[in-house]
């Protein structure tokens, strides 16, 4: 029976399991970048970064960074065979042209309608929406990885977002510290949950109604 919330690494691992071999993927700055560490054996995604690299690899060993090779989060990366460089404008043409299979982002709030808020204003806010607004409407599939609740215990999966929107009706799946939830027909559809947590317990920390449509699997991840 598992009731301990997943760590960020475990959430990232679970999201990585749904990325198809050869998929073109953009990972949001910060927490979502962890997804790249957990590609399943026998599969290899092609990672895209808004500042103009396709096919970058893992971070170099400490002290061996080439600071001319960075991702959109200003972190040093390596290159895989066949990697390509291109202008920032061309990078966004790829995004807006629908050439990315998956975008995985963090979130402050996700609404049952699929609306996403992942930036905020104010002294502690993210200063701007950045490229996320393009990503959520350009990628073929948009997923979110996040804690299920805020640090003060409030739901992050809500009926309606209260923060500035990044995108409208764009999110199709959310991987949280407690569950995997699809968004379909403007509803939260529960797909997986921690085995030791009842649906009622999960509903108590979810702002929108959780719908059961078919079987609900156990959210099983390795100890990372």
Q: Could you read off the pLDDT of 116-173 as tens digits, one per residue?
A: 999 877 666 555 677 899 999 999 999 999 999 999 999 999 999 999 899 999 999 9
SS3 157: strand
pLDDT at residue 130, as a whole number: 76
For residue 193, the surrounding DSSP H or E stretch is: strand 187-193
Residue 183, both tokens: 């968004």
Query: Would you mind telling me the total number of residues written for the chain in this entry?
Result: 224
- Give one DSSP letter per residue of 79-147, joined into a string: EEEEEEE--HHHHHHHHHTT--SEEEE--SEEETTS-EE----STTS-S--TTHHHHHHHSSEEEEEE-
Average pLDDT over every residue of 59-64? 92
CA dihedral sign of residues 189, 195, 198, 203: negative
68-83: b (≥16 Cβ within 10 Å) or e: ebbbbeeebbeeeeeb
| pTM of the predicted structure, to 2 decimals | 0.93
What is the DSSP code (8-state) at residue 164? P
Is 109 part of the annotated catalytic residue set?
A: no
Q: Which of 50, 109, 112, 192 is catalytic?
A: 50
pLDDT at residue 124, as a whole number: 64
The superfamily in CATH containing domain 8-218 is: Glutaconate Coenzyme A-transferase (3.40.1080.10)
């Amino acid at each position: 029976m598992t009731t301990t919330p997943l760590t960020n690494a475990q959430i990232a691992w679970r999201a990585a399991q749904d990325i198809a071999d050869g998929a073109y993927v953009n990972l949001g700055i910060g927490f979502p970048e962890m997804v790249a560490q957990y590609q399943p054996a026998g599969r290899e995604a092609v990672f895209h970064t808004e500042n103009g690299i396709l096919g970058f690899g893992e971070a170099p060993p400490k002290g061996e960074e080439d600071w001319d090779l960075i991702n959109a989060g200003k972190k040093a990366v390596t290159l895989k065979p066949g990697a390509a460089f291109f202008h920032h404008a061309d990078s966004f043409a790829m995004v807006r042209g629908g050439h990315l299979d998956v975008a995985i982002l963090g979130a402050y709030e996700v609404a049952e309608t699929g609306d996403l808020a992942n930036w905020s204003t104010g002294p502690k806010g993210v200063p701007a929406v950045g490229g996320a607004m393009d990503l959520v409407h350009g990628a073929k599939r948009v997923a979110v990885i996040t804690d299920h609740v805020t640090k003060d215990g409030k739901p992050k999966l809500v009926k309606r977002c209260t923060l500035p929107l990044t995108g409208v009706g764009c999110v199709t799946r959310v991987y949280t510290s407690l569950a995997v939830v699809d968004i379909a027909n403007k509803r939260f559809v529960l797909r997986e949950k921690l085995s030791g947590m009842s649906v009622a317990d999960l509903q108590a920390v979810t702002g929108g109604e959780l719908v059961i449509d078919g079987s609900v699997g156990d959210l099983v991840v390795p100890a990372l």
